[in-house]
Structure 1
Amino acid sequence: MDIAVGALSGMVDSLPGKLGDLLQQEYTLLSGVRGDVGFLQSELGTMNAALLRCESLDNPDIQTRAWVAQVRDLAYDIEDWIDLFAHRVDGGADSPAAASAAAKSSSGFLTWVRCCVNKVTTLPARHIIATTLQELKTRVVELSEQRKRYRFDPPAARGGVAGGVDPRLVALYADAGSLVGMDTPVEEVSEMVVDSGKAALKCVAISGMPGSGKTTLATAVHRRLKEQKRFDCSAFVSVGQKPDIAGKTLKGILSQIGGGYGGGEDISRLIGMVRDELKDKRYLIVIDDLWTRTEWPTLRCCFPDENLGSRIIVTTRNDVLAKECSSNSGDCVYKLGLLNDVHSRDLFFSKAFGKGNDCPSHLKDLSPQVIERCGGLPLALASIAGALAHRFPKDEWERYASNLLTSSYSDGQNLKQILNLSYNDLPSHLKSCMLYLSIFPNNYEIDVEHLVRRWIAEGFVADTRYTSKEERARSYLTDLISRNMIPTLHLRHDGTPRCCKLHPVIHDFIVVKSMEENFVTLVDAKLEATSTNNGTVRRLSIQNSVKQDKIAAQNDDMIKHARSLTVFGHGSGVPRLNDMSVLRVLDLGGCNGPVCLDGLCKLILLRYLSLRGTDVSELPAQIGELRCLETLDVRSTKVKELPASIVRLENLMHLLGGNAKLPGEIKKMKALLTLSCADVGKNTVSVLQELGELGNLRELELFCDATENAADKKRVSFPSNGFKGVRQLCIQSSLPSVTFVNSSLRKVEVLELKFEKGLSDGSTSVSGIEHLHNLKHVVIEFSQDDAGAIATIASVKKAAETLHPNHPDVFDKINRRNN
């Protein structure tokens, strides 16, 4: 059993730095507090080294696993203490920047008086801080002593799958006649490899998610081409997660192509021997299970190119690596997909019931659910069918229908071990991001914008000098996608993901992992058992809640340390907010029925708040107290006007107000990067002028009202000097009525126009697109198909093709279901 350290080691690794930053701040600390902070900083550095050693153990004992769990809870509590520190001391004072400005404008005497008053008024809070810190120090000392009493086993190599034979070996010796759904892939890859008429050395890469059958496919192609005697010699070798290029890979190639290696481990000598043996030969080499780019340059130089039509096949879980290995910059990559419904059923039934045998009648309703849960993944279908073979009690099948990886049967564990290889290969920051997805229900479409902002709010994304946190978070997502851990569902016009949805097997895997690490606690009203380890709740996901539910998570003692709360279903599932003082993320988007927001303004660490699509009609007037808030989403709600105090949210970067009216003084919100709001129909001209002065604003979404009454026709227009930083503009309106004047919105690169219908007279009313000098992409969409919609699209395309100097791409869509 692998120890569940994963994302924890990354968090503990960051805590000494956060404590160091705290020591550099000019906070007034009580006597001894600064020394205690320094002690924690030093001790946590040593503790993190011990955690990394624990992570390397293949079979940790019970005491070690218990110690890791205690370190996990301690690390969470220390981070909560750090984040609460400044807020308790400042007592809601101005931001550091504002305080600095005030100090510069005040005399030295007044500044001294202000500091003295602050010391007195915050004295109780500072005593609480000091007391809590002493408790944390005591816990650190106790854990440190426990670690010294443990005797750790020497770290074991983790090149293969612990606890048994690597199940991937079965693919190397599978009977060709038993393969299901492989005929077409084998034919297509064989054609890519042979590529008649091409004499130059060519490399074909096969990529896909873990368990998709890459090794099986490569083995079948190798066997087929070998039987056809198209090559003078061939070899099939596996690299694996812990490669041994000299001792295993190169010697394996030599032994299969007929050359002896005569002993020795000198890699240069072995490379020379492989090249000599392949000289003047047409060869086929399969490099299976390549994990990193480090080994590929060494392997590639083993294979001479003598224009004899030689070929290399590489299999990998990483799409980026597949492109790097393949010839022609990725044109020779075969992305292996999943089995269709028919092939999935055939494979599952043959493994579960034997060839020619049908499903027992009492399992006919459950077997489709289990097969669907496998999501067309061959390894899952074969493993779970093997686990259920000759086990026909209905209750055992029901367990697999809800989660494939909760059973202890060995075949099911093989599937988990294969997925563990990909998980363990992730760096610590990606493990956190990956586990976080267990918050969402199975088959849930996850909006990328929301996910990225939630990652940031949770503190998973590190600060960098040259890129923003959002750019860095997107690179995390891109990395997970390239590793085939997260599949994309819908793409934007520029090829970037708009939303993603986890494969059911991957979802089940990370749910189990999250439970092992107490990363997420799931409360599912549809299941009899709640997915919790009865420990402290750090992230709570309440799923399938209905009006009549009495959610078990209402226990205040369990949830008072929750950092994240997400509710799917009815608003009655929302626990009391009053005591959740360390909550960073509150996502109630899409909840049905009334939602209680009592205690919301006490969540001083809250960074992400989504009420989108709820029945909320009014925000608390004191919402300006949430000084840490970075994202506020009230789109598709009944909120008609945002409170005036919202302008005090100096850290707010994403204000998604939808049709709500904005307050005055919006220009104070200098941090705004994204804004969604109503247009002139609800906001005054002065508010729009203030918006135009927000220099950091990058994305603007406007909801507009328009009528066909000539006397009351409202047109969206932009001043020539406003919105200088906006790069993406989205306008949603019932009718197309938009005008861009010369020199307006000079930096806009993406323009999205979404209308319900066209004008009844068939005319167009979108003009001035040629004035958007930096425009690269235009997306125009209509909900209804009519003459006005067709005319508007044609007009926009003509302007882009003939009037605009950049000739931007135009993507159009009409929802013809409303005819």
Structure 2
Amino acid sequence: MGGLGKTTFAQLIFEDAEVQAHFDKKAWVCVSDPFDVIKIAKEILELVEEEKTQDCSIVSLQKLLKSIQAHIKDKKFLLVLDDVWTEDPIKWDNLKLPILMQTCAEGSRILVTTRKQEVAQMMRATSDMIMLDKLSHSDSLELFNSVAFRGREQDKSNKGFGDTAEKIVRKCGGLPLVVKTLGGLLLHKGTIREWEEVLNSEIWKVKVVQEDVFRPLLLSYYDLALEIKSCLLYCSTFPKDFEFSIEMLIEQWMSQDYLNVRENSEETTEGREVFNKLVMRCFFQDFQKHALTKEIIGCKMHDTVHDFVQYLTQNECFTMEATCTHGIETSSANDTTKPRPGDKVRHLTFKNASSISSIVNCEILRTLANFDSGITSIDSNLIRRLKRLRTLNLSRNLIWKVPEEIGDLMHLSLQTLRLDGCEQLAKLPDNMGKLINLKHLQLRGCAALRYLPKGIGSIRNLRTLDGDGRVYCSEDAEALTLGDLSMMNQLRRLSITIERIGEDAATMDDVLDALQPHENLESFILYGYKGSTWPTWMTTSYLTRLTAFYLESSYSSVLPPLGKLPSLKVLKLWRIAHLEEIGGEFFGIEETSSSSFPSLETLALSQLYSFEKWELGRGEAQDSSNSQMKSISIMPRLSSLYIVKCRKLKQLPDFLLQNAPLQNLLNLSSCILWQPS
């Protein structure tokens, strides 16, 4: 049964310190269904060689397996195969697991999680099989209380809550997923009467597929607001075990108009609140956090929860799977008869397809997405028929050109176009400016894209322009220029490469000065800046709301006075080749200053190979005992300091360890540091 904790148990083993120390190489692969031997081999290789491989569609299985063997030869190797469904030995033979394990050192192991005893029999592992049992009542109650009474210790001691909790937990049947889900539901209900309503709900009597798990999930689902329900159900358009990017998920909720945006609020803010509410209800798990900001940036959905949302959306969401070179097979969430899409299908996902040319009832589609495919082209006639499409996801495919016909749909409702990872894409349609409702254009990893078409500057609603597209400094008849950006006043996220052509092109200093952002900018990444000075808007406290600033691969020898920024929480300086010294200009201290970096919590200095001197200032200001300096608060909230590969740095400034409430002094590698007593 799903929800017993098989994956969680395996994770505890995988992450155990003794296990980590015992094995030289480790790989965790979610196999799931359908069984894709190329995908599995590719993931194993990426994990053992610790870097991304080239696109799996152009790598043979034999080459992948040989590369894996080379990386695990004579090493103790732990391979976890999570969520295995197929017991077909022919499919497993293609993965050559016995040969791989013969390559490893003695003591290597394979750990498998599955719901099916037939899988253990096929792998000849029945003698080493662990059957997980349901939780005892006492363990279930302890788990429930840890979720439902989080931050409510006074209620935990209340007999009324305690008695009701006992009865609710008995209905959970010892399933950890159910216990956590109901705990998350009741965390937000503050009266005993509300708890009793859950206990006595008619939903417990509903007959549904996998009723032991689905009925408690229904209780939590029906308690959600309408817009939150819509956002949860949209997750069924993604494959099982998909690693969600929170940014992408919110972006697609926005495209479907699911978010109820309040006055004076941003859609992204509302989206984050919706996500957080779903997290608290235990609909997501396996969270990934940003290394510096600690904000959740990625997650997964438990496969049983995924089955549940697919169960609720089986008439509106469809998955089409290619079963051969020339055909596409259709399947719905929980229907093994695999009918063709009906009149109600709004969101269509296709997998393992090399081309897509004909879809039944495509005129009513709102989402068309692909996963694990190698599409080389899109039929122009199909594009013309997608009149209600809001999200088109063609990421990580082999297409080299988007059909011009996409711009002919002048009133197209398309709001999100994802082309990231399409490495062979060289050109976008010149008439893209006609996509008047487009809000998000994702082009990350489109290295072959020569330029962004000028028409993009006409898309007034564009919120996200993110990727490798080039924007030109000098005027160009076809390309988007810096001047065109001035008309795009709805942009919330801008990631571009600036191209300078000709001797008369503006200098880097002029370019950055002209790119003055809105004063409410919250995060800023500057990569490859070769200017000799900093623009005025970076030398004052103009960016009052800036919370994160990353300066990467810069050629400057002097830093801007970032200490003046009142809201800056995260600062990362990385690979600044000519930076030898951090001095007074960095702290932005003036005669009237009372503080420097008043909000900074995390500071990361990485690969500053010329960096050798770090001082508060020059002359008298350098003396931390100076009466003027004593009255200035410097980095009062700094809690985490990362210093990585700063080989010439030998000393930290006195104020840093004397005044800042450092909790983490992390990753001090390749440095020789003196710390004051």
Cα pair 2:433 2:455 within 8 Å, conserved: yes
SS at match of 1:317: helix
1:367 aligned residue: none
1:802 aligned residue: 656
2:281 aligned residue: 483
SS at match of 1:632: strand
Is residue 476 of structure 2 the alignment partner of residue 664 of structure 1?
no
1:563 aligned residue: 366
Cα drift, residue 425 of structure 1: 2.4
Match 1:207 to one of 147, 166, 170: 147
Cα pair 2:609 2:645 within 8 Å, conserved: no
* Structure-1 separation of matches of 2:648 and 2:658: 14
Cα pair 2:565 2:597 within 8 Å, conserved: yes
* Structure-1 separation of matches of 2:308 and 2:207: 15
SS at match of 2:287: strand
1:364 aligned residue: none
* Structure-1 separation of matches of 2:168 and 2:515: 56
Change in 2 beyond 3 A, CA 1:235/1:790: closer
TM-score (norm 1): 0.45
1:180 aligned residue: 133
Cα drift, residue 630 of structure 1: 1.6
2:426 aligned residue: 617
Change in 2 beyond 3 A, CA 1:594/1:325: same
Q: Which runs of 5+ in 2 are unaligned?
A: 1-130, 151-155, 172-178, 192-205, 333-338, 473-480, 589-595, 613-642, 671-677
SS at match of 1:506: helix
Equivalent runs, 1:708-747 vs 2, <5 Å: 714=530, 718-721=534-537, 724=543, 727-731=546-550, 733-734=552-553, 739-742=558-561, 746=565
Q: Show CA shifts across 1:549-579 (max 9, x none).
A: x54xx43551122112212222247563222
Cα drift, residue 454 of structure 1: 1.2
Cα drift, residue 530 of structure 1: 2.4
Is residue 416 of structure 2 the alignment partner of residue 536 of structure 1?
no
Change in 2 beyond 3 A, CA 1:600/1:770: farther
Change in 2 beyond 3 A, CA 1:415/1:728: same
SS at match of 2:304: helix
* Structure-1 separation of matches of 2:565 and 2:537: 9
Cα pair 1:537 1:562 within 8 Å, conserved: no
Cα pair 1:776 1:808 within 8 Å, conserved: no
Match 1:689 to one of 487, 490, 513: 513
Q: Show CA shifts across 1:454-503 (max 9, x none).
A: 11111001231142221111111111000111225212344431111111
1:790 aligned residue: 644
1:246 aligned residue: none
* Structure-1 separation of matches of 2:374 and 2:400: 8
Amino acid across the alignment from 1:664: L
Cα drift, residue 745 of structure 1: 7.6
Change in 2 beyond 3 A, CA 1:745/1:458: farther
* Structure-2 separation of matches of 1:767 and 1:792: 20
* Structure-2 separation of matches of 1:512 and 1:790: 48
1:462 aligned residue: 260
Q: Show CA shifts across 1:414-456 (max 9, x none).
A: 3333332222222221111011111111111111111111111
Cα pair 1:432 1:460 within 8 Å, conserved: yes
Cα drift, residue 580 of structure 1: 1.1
Match 2:568 to one of 740, 749, 762: 749
Cα pair 2:549 2:572 within 8 Å, conserved: yes
Cα pair 2:252 2:416 within 8 Å, conserved: yes
SS at match of 1:583: coil
1:499 aligned residue: 298
Cα drift, residue 634 of structure 1: 1.3
Which moved further from structure 2: 648-657 or 740-749? 740-749
* Structure-2 separation of matches of 1:767 and 1:632: 41
Cα pair 2:181 2:216 within 8 Å, conserved: no
Aligned-pair identity in percent equals 18
Instruction: State the superposition RMSD in angstroms.
Output: 4.9
TM-score (norm 2): 0.54
Match 1:288 to one of 163, 168, 176: 168
1:306 aligned residue: none
Cα drift, residue 730 of structure 1: 4.8
* Structure-1 separation of matches of 2:348 and 2:434: 26
**More helix by proportion, 1 or 2?**
1
Match 1:416 to one of 202, 214, 232: 214
Equivalent runs, 1:6-25 vs 2, <5 Å: none
* Structure-1 separation of matches of 2:664 and 2:496: 25
Cα drift, residue 290 of structure 1: 12
Amino acid across the alignment from 2:370: V
1:512 aligned residue: 311
**More strand by proportion, 1 or 2?**
2
1:365 aligned residue: none
* Structure-2 separation of matches of 1:791 and 1:799: 18
* Structure-2 separation of matches of 1:589 and 1:317: 36
* Structure-1 separation of matches of 2:492 and 2:663: 25
SS at match of 1:676: strand
2:494 aligned residue: 675
Change in 2 beyond 3 A, CA 1:322/1:792: farther
* Structure-2 separation of matches of 1:811 and 1:578: 57
Amino acid across the alignment from 1:624: G
Cα drift, residue 180 of structure 1: 3.4
Is residue 466 of structure 2 the alignment partner of residue 601 of structure 1?
no
Cα pair 2:319 2:349 within 8 Å, conserved: yes
* Structure-1 separation of matches of 2:608 and 2:403: 38
Cα pair 1:618 1:640 within 8 Å, conserved: yes
Q: Which runs of 5+ in 1 are unaligned?
A: 1-177, 193-203, 209-213, 215-221, 223-230, 240-285, 292-313, 327-407, 706-713
* Structure-1 separation of matches of 2:353 and 2:214: 32
Amino acid across the alignment from 2:274: Y
